[in-house]
Amino acid sequence: MSGKASAKVGGGRRAVAAETGLPIDHDSLLPMPESLAELLPGSLPRGTVAVVSGARSLEVSLVAAVTAEGGHVAIVGRPDLGLLAAVEMGADLSRIAVVAHPGADPVEVAAVLMDGMDLVVLGLGGRSVPASRARALVARARQRGCTLLVADGDWQGASTRLEARVSGYEIAGGRDGVPTPGCGRISRVRLAMRARGRSVRPVQAVGG
């Protein structure tokens, strides 16, 4: 873990920006895939906590974008998150740590992993995190300059919420570039996105 912690790019400076409330520059934003950057022009500041719901393509694409830019990601309690899909989006598997079954307290596991990661994806498995504990994790995320992405549970008092649903697909293959029923493969998933909270500008949009 110590090796990954030392490889974290600019963590200290980004953490300071998040803690002090100073204007956040581009380097203090989490890398975003192009499709999501168009939908979320404010991106996500490092050192924040966001709750995600709906299509898992959102989580997968963020994992791919962060690792493709040289960052490190931990995935906790999300054993069915599609790593193959992440690789197809450009993810670097050598920069991903997976704790598929974190036991009775996945929140504590995620808190420990913040020390060496740029992004931690946390699946709560239907659990509810009370506001007092959530505030402690928010403070730790700010201190470490690590973004925490929470899914599949109730995170009380969350300041940022991202919702995604599949709005359509693009099919590659068929004859002469024309999709044929029963033929080809899915080349892109179109998402309908909604963002709310203090860390992002409110937006509702559809993109590829």
pLDDT in tens, the chain (208 residues): 433 433 344 443 333 333 334 333 445 888 888 766 666 655 678 898 999 998 888 899 999 999 999 999 999 999 999 899 899 889 999 999 999 999 999 999 999 999 989 999 999 999 999 999 999 999 999 999 999 999 999 898 777 888 877 666 666 665 655 556 656 555 566 667 777 766 555 555 455 5
How many helices and strands, by DSSP H and E, does the chain display? Answer: 7, 10
pTM above 0.85, yes or no: no
Report how far residue 50's alpha carbon sits from residue 141's, in angstroms, rounded to the nearest whole number.
Answer: 11
What residue spans of the chain are helical by DSSP H? 2-7, 11-20, 34-39, 57-68, 83-88, 106-113, 131-144
Structural domains of the chain sorted by starting position, each given as residue range(s) with its CATH number in brackets: 2-162 (3.40.50)
Q: What is the pLDDT at residue 200?
A: 56
